[in-house]
Amino acid sequence: MEEERRPAEGDRLPGEVIERYKQPEPGEVVERYVRPLPGRAAPARRRKRRRRHRRRGLWAAIVCLTVILGVTAGTWLWTLLRPEQPEWDGVESQGETQEITIPTYPTGEGARLEIVSDHGETLTVQEIYRRVNPSVVTVMAQLDGKMSVGTGVIFRPDGYILTNHHVLEGGRDCAIALDSGQTYEAKYVAGDAYNDLAILKVDLTGLSAAVFGDSDRLTVGDSVYAIGNPLGVELRGTLTDGIVSAINRDVWVDGRTMNLIQTNAALNSGNSGGPLINQYGQVVGINTIKMSSDYSNVEGLGFAIPSASMQRLVNDLLTYGEVQPEPSFGVMVNQLGTLLEEDLWGIQVVDVTPGSAADRAGIQEGDFVLSAAGTPVDSSQALLRVRRGLYVGDQVTMEIWRDGERLEVTLTLTDAVE
């Protein structure tokens, strides 16, 4: 039997495929990263100098970053600490006042706004709403390509409506909607952009007119209410409540000072021209603006034009089509009165303008004004109320207390209030 032959080492069997891997001889492994640079590479001898330049660049970057962070932090701190500039929601810039081209209704028709000084019993919120809401209208002024929506108050049953001037600015047509939803065309009677008041007229009679009360009788803390159309027609007839936060608040708005009632009753865009109502159901103001801010939420800062100051303005617009200048007495007085004798009050004169009506009449610094035009004067507001009913060219008699004696002087009012 023939012995089987085994393959010797290194013999290849038929069909066998052998893959060989020969390990390379050990050598140094080098990993490189070369940053691509524009142009030719710098010579090797400049590497040390380049490293120094890199160090200088790093320090410069650190210094620039420090400066930027410091400026940013300073700006942020200034933003927090600086007096915030308020923005007013509701009054357009006086420099951008646009002409009102709504069809007009004639002035001089004998219509007037009446203010009552008395009031009845305090009403519930429900009673106030039922009484005043029928006198509140939605004002819709057609502008170029859009519509301005605000609020108005009927102050005469024959269709005279009071609203804000900025609601109608740029308007070419106007309509009002009653609380019932019925819509009527409105005509433009007159307006005054500076005092932000305007009057509309609809051809209707027998309307429910609001009663206007005396805002001079308000005190801080009194309950007040607002009815209007916040944010548009869908929410018309919305009632909000609050208190009188301040009276005779001088507010600088768009280049002029407005003397307003401050309230925390909620006011929003669309409330402009609506009534501010006292607890007796009387309109004591026309809502005009709300303070807002880019830096923080501002709530409870609304403002209204007082009825006591708007009476003269509205009646001038109704009679003349424009506001007539108010006369100047030419005196500065203390805000609060002084008790001179039993039941005798007066306000002290602290300054007299040279050449003014008071100066020509002989009024002196230190005098006390007891009455003006036959009306007792016990505060600066009482004297201001008398002045609101006078015009340039009028004469007014004042009773003066000087060194324990009563004197009577007559002022000829030739100058207007600046």
Three-state SS for 78?
Answer: helix
List, as one string, the DSSP characters of 2-44: PPPPPPPTTPPPTT------PPPPP-----------SSSPPPG
The answer to whether 274 touches 123, Cβ cutoff 8 Å, is: no
Distances in whole angstroms, Cα of residue 66 to Cα of each of 56, 60, 155, 331: 15, 10, 65, 58
CA proximity to 225, closest of 257, 261, 250: 261
Sign of CA dihedral 175, 178, 181, 184: negative
β-strand partners of 253: 256
| Residues with catalytic function | 166, 196, 272
Distance (Å, whole) CA 163 – CA 189: 11
The string of DSSP letters for 322-350 reads SPPPPB---EEE-SB-EEEETTEEEEEEE
- 90/253 Cα distance (integer angstroms): 11
- Tell me whether strands 115-116 and 212-213 are parallel, antiparallel or unpaired: parallel
Look at the chain and count its residues.
418
